[in-house]
Amino acid sequence: MSELPALIAQCHSAISALAYPGSGPVTAAPDLQVRLDKPSAAQVRGSVRPDGIMSFIDGRVYKTLKRHLTAHGLDPQSYRARFGLPGDYPMVAREYAERRAALARAIAQGVPRDRAA
């Protein structure tokens, strides 16, 4: 039972090394949170896709990062600071934002009722 945290950290390190080849060995902190180096400019550009935004925390693609960041105790500003991202780094995928905007226009959201009719 006492060796379980070390085993989990070792498995996580091995999987992270597969997910981020060439980044060198990933070491886990005592609280088992992985600390990665800041991404390169190419990685930042590649993380923003029309259909989703890749998280630098776990490498998964999300339509919006807000809930994901909140689950990890971060807000957009601290996420950008932690990974050295520019201030205009998006938190929502472009296609998702366009779909939501089209839906809002379709139901006349934000338009006073007398003008909507």
> Which pair of tokens denotes residue 56?
């630098």
Integer-rounded Cα radius of gyration of the chain: 19
Q: Report the predicted TM-score, pTM, of the whole model to 2 decimal places.
A: 0.60
What is the rounded CA–CA span in Å between residue 16 and residue 36? 10
Which domains can be identified in the chain, with CATH numbers? 39-110 (1.10.10.1550)
User: For residue 98, what is the DSSP state?
Assistant: H
- pLDDT digits over 1-22, tens only? 888 888 888 888 888 777 766 5
- Between the alpha carbon of residue 32 and those of residues 4, 14, 19, 47, the distances in Å are 12, 13, 17, 24
pLDDT in tens, 63-108: 999 999 999 999 999 999 999 999 999 999 999 999 999 999 898 8
Residue type, 52: G
